[in-house]
Chain A
Amino acid sequence: SQKIEQNSEALNIQEGKTATLTCNYTNYSPAYLQWYRQDPGRGPVFLLLIRENEKEKRKERLKVTFDTTLKQSLFHITASQPADSATYLCALYNQGGKLIFGQGTELSVKP
């Protein structure tokens, strides 16, 4: 069955640095991969979607890459700010039409 792995250890970085989060998937080749942000006590909020034939997608300070050979997506936040502190989830639809999520990586940006 479809599996998504994200680094379960929290990522702590200094303000202004670039945060890089990893998402690896197995057993399937999705046409799209999505990234969501979840704040404590809140539901996930969609951030970015990338197609399999797009190597890279950008939105303001966010950048997502999608390597279908490695079955991996990287999520970058440049010039990070304390307000970027949250849990970031990657997700993809499996062949049964269900959105499968990774367990998320908690990012903490220190001033």
Chain B
Amino acid sequence: DTAVSQTPKYLVTQMGNDKSIKCEQNLGHDTMYWYKQDSKKFLKIMFSYNNKELIINETVPNRFSPKSPDKAHLNLHINSLELGDSAVYFCASSQAPGLAKNIQYFGAGTRLSVL
């Protein structure tokens, strides 16, 4: 059983389209995250939810909208896709938010290519 699973693994789409990425964790964690990994391999936090409430919202275009229907799921919807959105998006979870010793568990990533 995969602890953090995200779908799809690959997403190829045209500029201007709207797409969603889904994430589910079966670890019983309260906190979930979305990260973006660019071509230079930097992993940067985008959003974090704790028990369905948004607690971290980085400076991300408002074309990106996360949604957490329950604490085991965190989806990412992207409107009007642009070329610069091409990257690998990772979902992650941890037991609680922000504690310095919290370990994060990551999904396998979704590689988004905008043409």
Contacts and interface: CB of A to CB of B under 8 A. Distances in A.
B45 interface: yes
A87 B88 CA distance: 15
Interface residues of A, number: 23
A31 B102 CA distance: 11
A103 B37 CA distance: 10
Interface string A8-37: 000000000000000000000011101000
Contacts of A104: 41
Interface residues on B, range: 20 to 34
B98 A43 contact: no
A103 B58 CA distance: 18
A79 interface: no
A97 B102 CA distance: 10
Interface string B37-69: 000111111001000000110100000000000
Interface string B18-41: 000000000000000100000011
A30 B104 contact: no
